[in-house]
Structure formats: C-alpha cells, structure tokens
Chain A
Amino acid sequence: MTTPDGLPTEAFDHALSTVDAPAAIALVQGLLDDGVDPLAVLVDVIAHGQRAVGDRWQRGEWTVAKEHAATAVAVSATEVVTRFADRVPVTRGKVVVACAEREWHALPAMIIGTAIRLDGWDTVLLGASTSPARLSQCLHDVGPDATAVSCSVLGALPTTRRFIEASTTAGVPIMVGGSAFGSDDVRARALGATAWAPHAQGAVDALHHLPPVVRRAAPLPKAPMAEQAAIEVGHQRLVQTLRDRWSATTTDGPATEVAREVPHQAVHAVSAALLTGDPRPLAETARWIDHLLTVRGADPRLSAELGDELATALRDYPAAHGLVRRHWTEGLVPQGEHAR
C-alpha cells in the first residue's frame, strides 16, 4: 500500500509498530536506491511514521517503552539516510545541530541535521539533552556558520534560551524549531533566536538567509524572568504540591499512572509562557492534558481542576498566577461538550 505520492508510508508504519528495524532499514534503503528524494524519505516517510508513534502513546494505545522501541527503529531508518547524505559533497559552511538540556527527542534533530547535510552543509550533531557548556565548547572548536536547535518539549525552552545566549555571545546565528515553539515565530523571536523554522524544508531555506554574524541576544524582561527562575528552582516542590492536591493523582483512576507525570508539563507550560510572553503554551498544555486523560477514560473535569490547583500553588507569583487564571481554560471545551 502506498500513498498518492507513491511512498510506502503504511509499510514503514508497520515496521515501526512491530519494532522491525531490519524491515525499516531495508525499506528506506530501497527508496534511496530507487532515487526517491531523500528529503521526502525523511519527512514524508520517517517523520510521518514517528508522528503516528507519538499519537499512539498519546491515545494510550502504546506504553512509553513501546514508544521508545518504535522510535529506536525510526532512528535506525534515519541513519540510513544520514549515511546517504554523508556522500553529498560539502559545498556550504558548517552547522552545529543540537538539543538543549531536558530535550530527549533526538530524532527531530537527526532529521533536521540530515536535511541540512543533504543541502551541502557540513554538520556536527550533538545528541539529546546537551549542556550549554558542551555547546559552547563545540562553538569554540568548530566555529560554525550557524547553530540549529530542535525543541519539542516546553520544558526545554529555558535551556534553549541558554543555547541562544551561548551561540549569540559567540556571534553565531541560531535557528530554532520544533513543536515547543508552536506554529509561528513569536516564541522564537521572544527568546532571541535569529530565525525560526516551521519544518525541515523551512530549516533548509532559513539557513540560506542567516546573517554571518549576530549580536548577543538582548536580556529577557526582568520581572517575568525572576518568577520563572524561582518557579524552576521550586519545580519539584510545585509538582509534589500538585500531586498531593489534584484528584487525578490522589485517587486511583484509569489514568492515574500517566497523570503522575502531568504536573511536570503544567509547570513547564507556566515557565514557557513567562519566558516567551506568549500565553498559548498554557491553553495548549491544558488541552493536551485533557486529551491524554479523557482518552484513558478519566473524568473530563480533571484538566480544569489541575488549572485551579496550579493557580493556587502559584499564588505567590503574580504574573504566573494571572497567566494560569486567564489562559488555562481557554484550551478546554466547556463542560458537557466533550465529543468523545
């Protein structure tokens, strides 16, 4: 079975869901041998398949372990394209591709790195959850033309800001992308990135238009930053408070296990909103949590309840408190309108 484009997406999805690395590798190798555009293989086959993997976990069909195993298969498949890309002559400068600390989704960075390599750039790929010190060391050693950062989770936005500081202090332009930035460049600009890329092709295009040298990113606004820093320091305590009060974690229910991790995301969303001045991460997270819990059969009021508990736990932080009060429920369907 193939798509209208003739790409065997279903066969690839099957290889992921059966954790069949040899099949996934053979399939990708076959496409490259047939002369299929390697960028299309990356985006329309591998990234497409990987999105389905995430959705399956989100819908409660797969465990985290199954998701990891399938992702490992997608990584092996991407490596086939990476080896292909390594034969493309280097005709442009150097790009360092990295994930900031707390970003464990290494695959999007691999895909972006490979897409950039296919375009003739020399790339240095730093793996998942890289410290700013390691990035700085690499910038001094490599002296790249650009840094590219992939950020999928809101919790990695604060460390991505540190990457932006490290890169721009060295004068190196920095391009960011990934789902944590949302669907426009608002968060990227707020954090001081040189460019934002909505997808792999966008990343390839954006690199062509970066200035050779950038100024050090301006400091972020003081007041919200002070709150964000305090919330980050008190993260574990806040999470524990939420777990102690929120009925999804205090009582046994169909989604209790997954709910235990949810307060982390809620607090990260607050940090992201403070850091970027963009309140949308709150509504997005509220909606994401609502979906995560209700597909597992939990009470549809739980996400709203978490918003209330979060606002209460943050009462000493006026900006954060106000953001949660105003924006959390924007992400939720009013009571009784759940169409599931």
Chain B
Amino acid sequence: MTASGQRALRVDPVDRSVLGDETAATDHELLAQAQLRVDLAIDVTSALTGSLNLRRTVLRLLDLITPRMADWAMLVLVDDAGGLDLHGGSDPTYTSGVPRALVEGSGLDRVLRSGQHELLHVAMELDSTGALGTMIPDPRLRDEAIGLRPADVLCLALSARGSTIGALVMIRGAGRGFPEQEVEFAGLIADQASLALDSARLYEERGRITSVLQASLRPPALPAIPGARVSARFRPAAEHLEISGDFYDVHGSDDDWLLVLGDVCGKGVEAAVLTGRARQGVRTAAHFDRRPSAVLGALNNVLCDNDSTRFVTVVCARFRPSPDGTSAEVDVAVAGHPAPIVVHADGVVDQLDVAGIAAGVVRDIDYTEVRFTLTSGDTMLMFTDGVDEARGSDGFYGMDRLLALLPAYAGAGPVAVCEAVEQSVVEYLDGRAHDDIALLAVSCER
C-alpha cells in the first residue's frame, strides 16, 4: 500500500537482484517447493516443444500455468499488424484482439515496451478495476479477474531473440501472493515460453507462405464431367508435404474434356514447381488445339525452350462422352509415359498400344495418337511409375501384378479401381519408402 492509501495498487518494478524472501519455511517445505518447481520446469520444456503451432502452444502454456503457478492467466501476443491478441482467462480457448493504441500508457504497454516484469499488489478493500484495467484491456477478461478478488497481479514480459513478443499476466488470490523467489521462477518459465511461442510464430508465418504455394502445386479438385465419372489418387513420396513431381489435371467443357497425368523427373519441391509449369503449359496448348498429339507437341517445345534440364513424362487423353452417358470417344497420346490401361466391362484388361518420347528432351516431336471407344462399364486407368516401380519384399510391384489385379474390378467404376490399386500398391510396399504415386481413372456415367 502506498503511504497515501488513496491508490488501489502499488507498482513494483521487479528487482531481480533481490533474493531470499524471509519466510519461516522448514527445510522439508522448501524441498517440496523446489521439487514442484523442477517438475513444472520439466513439464514446461517438454510441453512447449511438443507443438510448432502457435495456438496449440498458447493453450499448452495456459494449461501449465493454471492452477499450478497462478489462479488465472492471460497471454498477450503482439500480432503482425501491431495489434494485441489476448488469450485465456478462465476459458483457455477464449481469444480477443485489441488495437495497440487502446493500451497506450497502461501498465501492459509499459511491460511490452520495456521488456521488464511488473508486480502489482492490489488493495482488497478498494475498487480494483483501475489496477486490473491497466494490465487487462478486455472487459470480459477484466471482469473475470475482478471476480477473483486478486491479491497480486504479475505481468511478465515475453522476450525472445531480442524482441518482446508479448506478455503473460498472472493473478493470485488473497493469501497466495507472489513472493520474490516465485517471481524469479516465473521469469524463467516465461523465458522458456517466449522461445517456444516465438518459434511457433516463425513457423506459422513461414507456414502461411508455404501453404499458399503448396495449394497452387497440389492437384486441383476434379470437376464434374457430364456423362462421365472420374476419380484420382495422389500419394507423394514425402506424404506429409502433400506435393510431388506427379501431377494430374482435368479440364474442358460440355462434351470435350482433357485428362492429363504426368511425372516430372525427380521429386519433392523442385519437381513440384515444374509440375505447375507443365500443367499450365498443357492448359494453354489445349486452348489452341485440343488433339492430345498437338498438346504434347507444344508442351515438348515449350519445355525444350526452357533451360531446365528436367524432362516430363505425360499421358494426355481427350474424352468426348456421348450425350446419353453410355459411351465416349477417347484419343490418347503419351510422352515417355506408361500407356493407360483399359479395364473392360467383361473383365478383359489391356494396355493401350501408344508410345512417344518424354517431353523436354528433343524439339519438334510428332506424337502419335490412338483412338478408341470407351463403352458402358469400361474404366480407363492412367498411372505413374510409382505404381509399377513400387519396391516391396519381392522386388518391383510390376505391370504383371497390376494387370492381374484389375480384372476383378471390371464394372466397379473409377473410384473402386483407384482405391484398389492404391491399397494394393501401398500394402505391397509394407511401409517402405516409395516414389510419388498418382492415379487418374475415368468411365462413362452409365
């Protein structure tokens, strides 16, 4: 209490050099207290390294602090735009945002600017709104805090890697204030937490950039083709990255569609970047001439003109369903890619007889084209070499295994065919690493 007794609080800039609160604790109590702190410190370290997600790290931190270190806690983080994000209170999932200008000149502002901790002793007998208002700029959270009739409010600066990224406000009720050593200890926990929060913040910022780029490289959602059913599967070598050197695309309108599936040599991000270009190249080429041979010819020349040394294998099918959805005219050309397989309704399975050199190797190739009619119950399957070259305990999965699997799926449709092939190949791999795998299948609607 200040001498005048008029102010509801006393502000102590925390002096870290002062140690050893004169309390009459027994050795046993001190030991127990020390043990609690060690446990908490270990929990904080292991818990805060468990997630790179900012929100999860915030929830984790709040969960660790209440009730072990404080009766109530609120986390403040400075956001990109200079505003403040508030988290916690009695509901750890509660969040709200306030503009920085709103806290100008408050205790919280001081902590954020100075990076120094502050401890407030709130006078019980007086209205504590002012005391808490200076640290808690959200009405709902402030009311919660007032309801606790707090004795002490500790505001710790969260500083990491040279910046103050936020603050942690902790409240303890009457008879359970923050003695000096506990403030010291809370400071250590805050340092740990700051690093974890800052890492999560960096990861999240980078993640935002990556996810936008990733989304542009991932295969697009399949359009609904009138008179046809289409299905696709995609299993990148680095499954958790969700991008690969394999790609597929389906585009067109009304009764004239192109189905494209390809494989950029190599895998991972570098290959994925080129798949974006290849997909775009095909779309642009198809705008001028929709014949698969012409599309691949144009793509080949464009890729040859690039200085990239990577080549691309592609299968391109033009699909023209009949109005009643019972048959379709299909033209297929390939560039260095395995030819599609047709699973006929009667169980006969054959691979189309069409070949051509990979795109991006030699200029001015005339790609050949085959034409056939896909009839009711037939499914055409396009696949990448991640299928037949999947390596299990008996060597490669191989074309023979694929051709032997498919007759049972005659008439089952593209979803079932893709599912069966994916499952068969992944089970054959039995947990081994694999190349990118992509499947694209189409059949008539009826």
List the interface of chain A (C-beta within 8 A of B).
Answer: 19, 21-22, 63-66, 68-69, 71-72, 75-76, 93, 101-102, 104, 128-131, 133-134, 136-143, 145, 169-172, 212-213, 215-216, 236
**Cβ-defined contact, A143 with B420, below 8 A:** no
Residues of the A chain whose Cβ atoms lie less than 8 Å from the Cβ of B55:
143
**Cβ-defined contact, B412 with A140, below 8 A:** no
Q: Fill in one digit per residue for B234-256: 1 if any A CB lies within 8 Å of its CB, else 0.
A: 00000111100000000000000
How far apart are the CA atoms of A130 and B419 in the complex, in Å? 14
- Report if A93-B93 is in contact (Cβ < 8 Å); known contacts: A65-B408, A171-B56: yes
Residues of the B chain whose Cβ atoms lie less than 8 Å from the Cβ of A65:
408-410, 412, 416, 420
Q: DSSP majority for the B interface? A: helix
Task: Check: B92 CB closer than 8 A to any chain A CB.
Answer: yes
Residues of the A chain whose Cβ atoms lie less than 8 Å from the Cβ of B354:
none
Stretch at the interface among B43-51, B157-165, B299-307: B43-51
Nearest B residue to A166, CB-CB? B50
Nearest A residue to B427, CB-CB? A102
User: Chain B nearest CB: distance from A25 CB in Å?
Assistant: 11
User: Chain B nearest CB: distance from A305 CB in Å?
Assistant: 26
Nearest A residue to B419, CB-CB? A68
User: Chain A nearest CB: distance from B245 CB in Å?
Assistant: 18
**Cβ-defined contact, A21 with B63, below 8 A:** no
Task: Check: B369 CB closer than 8 A to any chain A CB.
Answer: no
Chain B interface, number of residues (Cβ within 8 angstroms): 42
Residues of the A chain whose Cβ atoms lie less than 8 Å from the Cβ of B446:
22
**Cβ-defined contact, A104 with B50, below 8 A:** no
User: Chain B nearest CB: distance from A168 CB in Å?
Assistant: 8
**Cβ-defined contact, B47 with A171, below 8 A:** yes
**Cβ-defined contact, B408 with A171, below 8 A:** no
**Cβ-defined contact, A72 with B53, below 8 A:** no
The 8 Å CB contact of A68, one of B53, B93, B416, is: B416
Q: Fill in one digit per residue for B208-245: 1 if any A CB lies within 8 Å of its CB, else 0.
A: 00010000000000000000010100000001111000
**Cβ-defined contact, A140 with B203, below 8 A:** yes
**Cβ-defined contact, B51 with A143, below 8 A:** yes
Q: 13 A–B contact pairs at CB < 8 A?
A: A21-B229, A63-B408, A68-B409, A71-B416, A128-B419, A128-B423, A130-B239, A137-B240, A139-B53, A140-B207, A143-B53, A171-B51, A212-B63
What are the 6 tightest A-B residue pairs by CB atom distance, in nearest-first order?
A143-B53, A69-B412, A72-B415, A68-B416, A213-B63, A137-B240
The 8 Å CB contact of A21, one of B52, B203, B413, is: B413
- Report if A236-B413 is in contact (Cβ < 8 Å); known contacts: A68-B419, A170-B56: no
Nearest B residue to A72, CB-CB? B415
